[in-house]
């Protein structure tokens, strides 16, 4: 993954984060933030990695690549959800929206 692709992935991560801020904290956002931080750290480590240690370089590249793949997966899931939502009758759309905007409960809250 080149620098431009990494920058685009990070920008997309910011967009997704901003787009979902109206919802309560979620596991998805926490995972996305963690994956983004790992990708940034791996990119930093690539700058100082031993060029004669291909295993280390491949491991770091794979960590950055995994973030890019996560972003693509989330984009696809987001688009599929929008498409499915658009096909619902208005009454069911309201029900789905109500379910999605309810505060999330944990096992301890139940």
| Confidence class for position 3, pLDDT limits 50, 70, 90 | low
Two structure tokens written together for 56: 């280390």
Q: State residue 54's pLDDT score.
A: 94
Tell me the backbone φ, ψ of residue 37, rounded to 5 degrees.
-65, -40
Q: Please, which residues have CB within 8 angstroms of residue 104's CB and are 6 or more apart in sequence?
A: 24, 25, 26
Q: Is the pTM of this model over 0.75?
A: no
pLDDT-above-70 percentage for the chain: 70
Residue 18 near residue 98 (C-beta atoms within 8 A): no
pLDDT in tens, 40-57: 999 999 989 999 999 999
Measured CA to CA, the distance from residue 22 to residue 101 in angstroms comes to: 9
- Contact call for residues 42 and 63 (beta carbons, < 8 A): yes
Could you read off the pLDDT of 57-79 as tens digits, one per residue?
999 999 999 988 988 888 888 88
Give me 30's structure tokens: 């926490």
């Amino acid at each position: 993954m080149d620098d431009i692709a990494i920058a685009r992935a990070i920008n997309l991560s910011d967009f997704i984060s901003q787009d979902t801020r109206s919802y309560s904290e979620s596991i998805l956002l926490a995972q996305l933030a963690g994956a983004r931080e790992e990708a940034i750290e791996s990119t930093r480590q690539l700058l100082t990695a031993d060029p004669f240690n291909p295993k280390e370089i491949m491991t770091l590249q794979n960590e950055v690549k995994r973030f890019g793949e996560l972003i693509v997966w989330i984009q696809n899931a987001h688009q599929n959800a929008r498409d499915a939502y658009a096909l619902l009758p208005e009454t069911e759309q309201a029900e789905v929206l109500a379910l999605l905007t309810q505060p999330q409960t944990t096992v301890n809250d139940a």
